[in-house]
Structure 1
Amino acid sequence: MKLIIPMAGRGTRLRPHTHVTPKPLLPVLGITIVERIVRTFVNLVPHKITDAVFVLGDFPAEVQEKLTEMCTKMGIDSEFGFQKEALGTAHAVYCAAEHLDGELIVIFADTLFYTHEPLNTEADIVAYVKQVTDPRRFGVVARDEEGRVTELIEKPNHDRFKEALIGIYYIKNGAQFRDTIAHMMENKLVGTRGEYEVTDALDMMMKAGAALETASVTDWLDCGTLSALAETTQFILDREGNQLFGDLINTTIIEPVYVGPGVTIRDSVIGPYTSIESGAEVNGSVVKHSIIFSNAEVADVVMDRSFIGHSAVIKQSAFSANIGDHTVIEYLTKPSTGVHKPPTGATS
């Protein structure tokens, strides 16, 4: 069984943090978004995942190296396709055409989820869904009066059907799926957005006799915007709890907090709902409801609901901000922040 993971998008809604790092490689509590997705399916499916096929955009070679390393760690072979222009979800999948055979799981890598339902690999197609109040922003599953799936509808103008498609599909016959997309592209069968859509390809397969079932998820976590990433981080902190791997010196932790390996924190108050990624350093600061990415340096700062990019340096300030990778911000005159260093011994 293969995982097909299109991830060629530039992640513009997460900028400036995706100028250097592709969105699926952003970490959530020390584990990248894409690795969390792959781990989910390694643990969920009854058959062994043999290959993970990543469809990439114009990314540096380092991205392939990181993905290969991730797969090797889980005993999976890594393969790559490349999408040079964005022509839709089906087009993105077809950029890995040479790998589209046998059993497939197609995953669009900006969504994390949890489910209690086992995957039914006897089905022709399984679409993962989540009940929503307002389905008009999503693709949805339409059913007849007997509950059978009849079609997939992109962004309906009514709220009759409330099972939203979360962008994850099991497909038993990968070759049929590949050939269906090829037929769409050869005949320019685009959807309402003028693009080649996976949902349209699956509709065509159903019309050709394939049966589609659904699997429900209990939680559907978006990582596509900064606010969504913050909410997802908070949700997973609640679920996984405190994780403290770094060095905490004269520091107070207000749970839940993630502190990654190689992090050093001195004379600070951290939390709640804060994630500090590997190699970062925090001194004399108060940090809450924030994400500090790897190797950043924060000193004499009070921050709330902020994002500090990889290798950014922030000193002497009080703010709520979104600071990109490799940024340096220093104040020549230290502002009055009202920060009081915790008393000696107030560590946890």
Structure 2
Amino acid sequence: MKIIVPMAGIGSRLRPHTLTVPKPLTVIAGKSIVHRLVENIASVVKQPIEEIAFVIGPATKGFPSNTKDTLLKIASDLGAKGSVYVQEEALGTAHAIYCAKESLSGPCIVAYADTLFKADFTLDVNADGAIWVKQVEDPSAFGVVKLNEGVITDFVEKPKEFVSDLAIIGIYYFKDGDKLLTEIQYLIDNDLRENGEYQITNVLESLKQQGAKFVPGKVDAWMDCGKKDPTVDTNKQILVFEQEDGNNLVSNDVVLENSEIIQPCYVGKNVVLKNTTLGPYVSIGENSVVENSTIVNSLIQTNTQISDASLDMAMIGNHVKYNGKYTSVSIGDYTELI
């Protein structure tokens, strides 16, 4: 099994954090979004992952020079070959997959790195394909699928009238990666664009019309990482899941001086807490110092200094110094508010 991860978007809705770190590499509870994504997929597939191919944007779109090395290590940690491709121009969801054409063969999963999920279903690898879906209250804001006897019959984009409440979350299984590539190549060769871009939904429809049967893969939780508040909420949900699984995410070298950690929390290495209450639902990266503060429900990255703060629903980047009265803040890397 191969995993293709298009992640070339600049993540403009998560500014200022994505000015220095691509959104999929934003760390939540000690692991990047894309790392957690491929781990979750591997747990559902329940078979060896042969290769993970990442499609990133160019350096001019904010992708640091070490992005490739970071992604190759993620693949290696999962026992897979890593490949990194560059999408020089944003030409749509299908075009992003096409950029990894050298890796498109055999069974593969395509997972756009905008979301995380939790699921306990087992993927039916004998189906022609599968589409991960989540039941939602307001389907008008999503692309949805219609079912008939467990098989997907229609794809409907943002329906104005109710047709289904099963929203497509952006993760797909294809039994035949070569056939997927052929269909994308047909779109590109014939310049079949929708709103100026080559779309994966057109590929799905074409495969369905040729007789391919797609089945749904229903997930229990679908977590958004598009904006600051949903990302902080995703951090909270991940911490709850980790606690339910019996995982301790607090480093054993944390220094507590008249301080308390209220679980669930992630606390990285070499963190110092002085006169501070941390948690619940807080992630704080390594080499950070917090003094005279109360922090709940927040996501804080590495090498950060916080003092005299009361934080809730905050997202703070790497190498930040913050001393202030504001509660719900969003502060990017290398920022000082003192």
Q: Same fold (TM over 0.5)?
A: yes
Q: In structure 2, the residue corresponding to 1:319 is in which secondary structure?
A: coil
Aligned identity (percent) is: 39
Paired residues of 1:2 and 1:103 also in contact (CA < 8 A) = yes
Aligned partner of 2:26 in structure 1 is 26
CA distance in 2, matches of 1:215, 1:252: 41
Aligned partner of 1:114 in structure 2 is 118
Aligned-partner residue type, residue 3 of structure 2: L
CA distance in 1, matches of 2:13, 2:326: 25
Paired residues of 2:232 and 2:314 also in contact (CA < 8 A) = no
1:45 shift after superposition: 1.3
Paired residues of 2:20 and 2:64 also in contact (CA < 8 A) = no
Query: Is 2:65 aligned against 1:61?
Result: yes
CA distance in 1, matches of 2:33, 2:151: 33
Alignment of structure 1 residues 1-348 onto 2, 5 Å: 1-58=1-58, 59-144=63-148, 146=149, 148-191=151-194, 193-241=195-243, 243-245=249-251, 246-330=254-338
Q: Deviations over 1:97-151 (max 9, x none)?
A: 111111110000111111121011001111111111221111111235x554222
Q: In structure 2, the residue corresponding to 1:68 is in which secondary structure?
A: helix
Paired residues of 1:124 and 1:212 also in contact (CA < 8 A) = yes
Bigger shift: 16-25 or 264-273?
A: 264-273
Q: Deviations over 1:310-348 (max 9, x none)?
A: 101112545331111100111xxxxxxxxxxxxxxxxxx
1:260 shift after superposition: 1.4
CA distance in 2, matches of 1:296, 1:323: 11
CA distance in 2, matches of 1:157, 1:194: 23
Aligned partner of 1:336 in structure 2 is none
Paired residues of 1:134 and 1:159 also in contact (CA < 8 A) = no
- Which TM-score applies when normalising by structure 2? 0.93
Cα 1:329/1:11, change in 2 over 3 Å: same
**Structure 1 ranges of 4+ moved more than 6 A:** none
- Which TM-score applies when normalising by structure 1? 0.90
Aligned-partner residue type, residue 244 of structure 1: V
CA distance in 2, matches of 1:147, 1:307: 41
1:248 shift after superposition: 2.0
CA distance in 2, matches of 1:159, 1:247: 54
Aligned-partner residue type, residue 51 of structure 1: E
1:44 shift after superposition: 2.1
Gaps of 5+ in 1: 331-348
Aligned partner of 1:340 in structure 2 is none
Compare CA radii of gyration and give the structure with the larger one.
Answer: 1
Bigger shift: 230-239 or 8-17?
A: 230-239
Q: Deviations over 1:197-246 (max 9, x none)?
A: 11210110111121111111111111111111111111122222363212
Paired residues of 2:150 and 2:215 also in contact (CA < 8 A) = no
Aligned-partner residue type, residue 233 of structure 2: E
Aligned-partner residue type, residue 16 of structure 2: P
Paired residues of 1:135 and 1:161 also in contact (CA < 8 A) = yes
Cα 1:324/1:174, change in 2 over 3 Å: same
Paired residues of 2:268 and 2:287 also in contact (CA < 8 A) = yes
